[in-house]
Chains A and B, each alone.
Chain A
């Protein structure tokens, strides 16, 4: 069967890791090889009410922070956005807490930690904090999380003709699982995509067309061209940081306008910036 193209425009981004705290800071690192990465603590997303924020686990705070940044940059009300949240590892620190308690005789779990342990905690905190009543999805693709979530969101955007917030986030891995998963790191990136013809925002300076195509062929993982050690470290140990080569394409710093990601042994997605 013929190839399938889905076109959308990227209207706002947000970013956070141990070495950048905003999309402009990440752009600087990706564009300028002499830029120096700072050590960042946090985040403390303002949009979550203070009493809830204290109880919010790190992956949730990462995801909500960059989601909020993206909506602010796009000038879009979060209530207008369906959302797709994706994490490759899930919250392994909470899993660690629960498994340790359950291995004891008492087995008494904290109710707050239990409800925070659902994979859709980030989507839950986001929709609760922003009053968003739209469809909220929370998906997982392990190491393939970035291309699978991009595909899922691009198809939803195309089929339902709605703008969508996509947030890719992963946090450091619990000690017990690092043997098999690697150490991980704090990384979250959000982008808002919208149907090309949809116009609902005054701010259009960051608009960038993204085209996604599912192709029946295998491919290798793309190479991150930036030599920034902090970015290379994230790229190698954090499934969500696999978005970084696509950002180089969107920013025009990679020397190419397209990029391929594998989604199975025989299938890949081709992404191009226009």
Chain B
């Protein structure tokens, strides 16, 4: 498979755009802060994007849509979309957005302002917002794209799977370009939901560390524009070469003890790209900093990949951005093909003593040809992506 990226952008607590993210990675500057999310009393750290707080979209308003809009204003994403609409027409561009919360933040807020008879007050009567498809409906509205628009909600693998769907749409010929994206915002449901599962860390997260205490939640928006190679006019020279999608068939909120589904998704991505594990220079791991995920994922990496494959979790920069993690971390992985700067695993002091693979806190410089990114979600839903440098 060969699907080209012609543009991509990232908005996280570590940086409002790709340029800021690269700087934060280079200087190992975390965007995490002690929890100050409105009236949430939780003792934890979060990856909050404060620029979202002041955006008001009127009838489309939700924190999630506001972050989706903020993300679309970064870099050249909007102008890339506009020129593709001119080149192909608005019906020939597709949208595939991934999210776990969609706009549930808005529904939460609406419930704090119900009328005396228990109904939505006027400003919250927003059918296009209070539903799981809201992110794609909003992006279509905001960009003027009128091609097929679908939202994928598979929890934390959502915006990794958008690449698989986008690639299939392009290969099938129903569209000439696809805007794939992911957007998820901090809200009470996820903060207190993950707390109810006792997964939230009171301190900055330490993925794969012996003393890790759990996850930090974050918010993010990320976008990539995908095209078939014959149509892609770009000098990025980055190709989506493989994806893997699988199920654990084990438990709703606990990963398979042997990482069965995670193994399948990584092997499928390698097989689609016709590559052996030793070809992979860097893997951006799911690495949530939960006891279970990191142990299982780390043991699997140790079994499947040689020590020449460098790995890290970048959640120490921005937290776990849930449905936006797939694309945010996919972008970090594929950007190393251009920068040669491999992010370290921030906050890693002592590697879990049951693990032995190539991971360390410090950044590294390397010439890379093939990279991967893992995303695993509730329901045992897994997705792995494989990106390659286009050979000169």
Contacts and interface: CB of A to CB of B under 8 A. Distances in A.
Interface of A: 1, 4, 6, 82, 87-90, 95, 98-103, 107-111, 114-121, 123-125, 127-128, 130-142, 144-145, 148, 151-152, 155-156, 158-160, 175-177, 179-181, 214, 216, 263-267
Given A120-B154, A127-B247, A264-B91, A141 B133 contact: yes
B146 A123 contact: no
A133 B132 contact: no
Interface string B171-182: 111101000000
Contact of B168 (A139, A148, A156): A156
A117 B188 CA distance: 13
Given A102-B111, A120-B377, A134 B168 contact: no
Contact of B172 (A4, A145, A176): A4
A51 to B, nearest CB: 13
A115 B250 CA distance: 14
Contacts of A159: 168, 171-172
Given A120-B379, A124-B378, A128-B251, A134 B153 contact: no
Contact of A118 (B130, B195, B379): B379
Interface residues of B, number: 74
A120 B153 contact: yes
Contacts of B131: 88-90, 140, 142, 181
A88 B130 CA distance: 11
A64 B130 CA distance: 25
A69 to B, nearest CB: 20
Nearest to A152: B150
B128 interface: yes
A140 B249 contact: no
B128 A114 contact: no
Interface stretch (B71-79, B100-108, B291-299, B361-369): B100-108
A177 B130 contact: yes
Given A120-B377, A137-B161, A180-B127, A98 B193 contact: yes
B277 interface: no
Contacts of B171: 159
B134 to A, nearest CB: 8
Contact of A132 (B134, B249, B378): B249
Contact of B250 (A128, A141, A144, A265): A128
Contact of B260 (A99, A103, A133, A181): A133
